[in-house]
């Protein structure tokens, strides 16, 4: 019987050898022709030379995959070490990865699920500024945040900036408890929720602390130049004409801007005050700007949401 020691270099050993032992047990089950003994940052592999070499090759592919996508799960192990074998540098889900955006926490697949979500992904590759408008629950903001996280993971940008106007929808800021940050956080919570699906909580906290990910009210954007960043303005229907002009003129070099909103949910005194409607009208013919309109068919929340949207149409 031959033996070889393989150093774990590109995967956090704690992730591979989690406390429950699920991953290493899965690995052993998928590789019955070799015996695996793990000590610290090394895997001791015992078996026939050809089987050891095959394991080493596949483990190297696994490390490359984790280094690129930051994701490890039983499904990925099965793809890598299954009897048929899959090239994990081209990850698949049920044999088809064309809609994949990224892998989120616990191996959850984040992908484009409707035709317009796919169109948003395609537009993101071709345009530096995109307007995505449509009803609640159509996934426009979630898809936009997923694209921003992917850009950060693949190091095409240095930071993500998420913002939205702090406009009251029935409850006044002054009556909410706490300091200004605590008053504003409820407006920004949907953005935290989406990020929490895609980035582990510890890493997300570190990114926010370091400023790699910034979540702030729209008023905090004034005077800044936003370069090397993916920037998302959410709930843009509640921006005034001057606010959206201020935001759009923050665009710096190597920046991607996505503006999302729902023109049926304007909380400003008059819907005609909405800067989003004005901006789409004036910029629709400008090269480098993409505009996509989501519809009822894109709603992926509870099935009742589609009926609620219909019921409240004027």
Mind listing the pLDDT tens digit for each residue in 179-204? 555 666 777 788 889 999 899 888 89
pLDDT digits (tens, 9 = 90+) for 246-285: 999 999 999 999 999 999 888 888 777 899 999 999 999 9
In the prediction, which pLDDT does 87 show?
Answer: 40
Global pTM reads 0.68
First and final C-alpha spacing in the chain: 76
**Confidence band (pLDDT; 50, 70, 90) for 170?**
very low
- At 161, which helix (H) or strand (E)? strand 159-164
Contact 77, 16 (CB under 8 A): no
What pLDDT does residue 283 have? 95
For 137-146, letters b (16+ CB in 10 Å) and e give bbbbbbbbbb
Over the chain, what is the mean pLDDT?
A: 83
- Maximum pairwise Cα distance, the chain: 79
Higher pLDDT pick, 209 / 269: 209
The pLDDT assigned to 126 comes to 93
Q: pLDDT per residue over 116-160, tens digit each?
A: 999 999 999 999 999 999 998 899 999 999 999 999 988 999 999
Determine contact, residues 166/187, Cβ cutoff 8 Å.
yes
Calpha distance 136→301 (Å, rounded): 9
pLDDT at 225 over 70: yes
Nearest to 75 by CA among 12, 132, 27, 137: 27
Q: For residues 264 and 275, give the distance between their C-alpha atoms in angstroms, rounded to a whole number.
A: 13
**Local confidence band at 232 (pLDDT 50, 70, 90 cut-offs):** very high
- Going by their DSSP bridges, the two strands 213-217 and 109-111 should be labelled as unpaired
The total of other beta-carbon atoms located within 10 Å of residue 6's CB is 18
CA dist 43 and 13 (Å) reads 10
The Cα–Cα gap between 220 and 165 comes to 10
Judged by average pLDDT, the poorest of 21-25, 43-47, 51-55, 185-189 is 21-25
In eight-state DSSP terms, residue 108 is -
Confidence tier at 308 by pLDDT (50, 70, 90): confident
């Amino acid at each position: 019987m031959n033996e070889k020691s393989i150093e774990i270099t590109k995967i956090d050993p704690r992730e591979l050898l989690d406390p429950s032992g699920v991953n290493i047990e899965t690995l052993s089950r998928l590789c019955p022709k070799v015996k695996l003994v793990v000590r610290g940052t090394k895997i001791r592999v015992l078996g026939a030379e050809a089987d050891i070499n095959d394991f080493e090759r596949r483990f190297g592919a696994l490390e490359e995959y984790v280094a690129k996508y930051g994701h490890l799960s039983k499904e990925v192990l099965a793809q890598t070490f299954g009897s048929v074998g899959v090239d994990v540098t081209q990850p698949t889900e049920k044999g088809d990865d064309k809609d994949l955006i990224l892998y989120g926490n616990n191996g959850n697949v984040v992908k484009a699920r409707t035709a317009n979500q796919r169109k948003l992904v395609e537009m993101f590759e071709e345009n530096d500024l995109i307007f995505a408008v449509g009803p609640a629950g159509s996934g426009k903001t979630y898809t936009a945040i997923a694209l921003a996280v992917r850009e950060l993971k693949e190091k095409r940008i240095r930071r993500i900036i998420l913002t939205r106007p702090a406009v009251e929808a029935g409850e006044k800021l002054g009556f909410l408890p706490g300091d200004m940050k605590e008053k504003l956080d409820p407006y920004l919570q949907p953005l935290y929720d989406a990020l929490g699906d895609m980035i582990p909580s510890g890493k997300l906290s570190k990114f926010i602390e370091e400023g790699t990910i910034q979540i702030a009210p729209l008023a905090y954007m004034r005077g800044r130049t936003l370069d090397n960043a993916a920037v998302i303005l959410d709930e843009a229907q509640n921006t005034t004409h001057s606010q959206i002009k201020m935001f759009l003129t923050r665009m710096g070099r190597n920046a991607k801007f996505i503006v999302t909103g729902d023109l049926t949910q304007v909380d400003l005194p008059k819907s005609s005050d909405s800067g989003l409607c004005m901006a789409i009208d004036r910029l629709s013919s400008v090269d480098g700007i993409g505009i996509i309109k989501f519809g009822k068919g894109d709603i992926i929340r509870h099935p009742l949401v589609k009926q609620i949207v219909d019921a409240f149409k004027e």
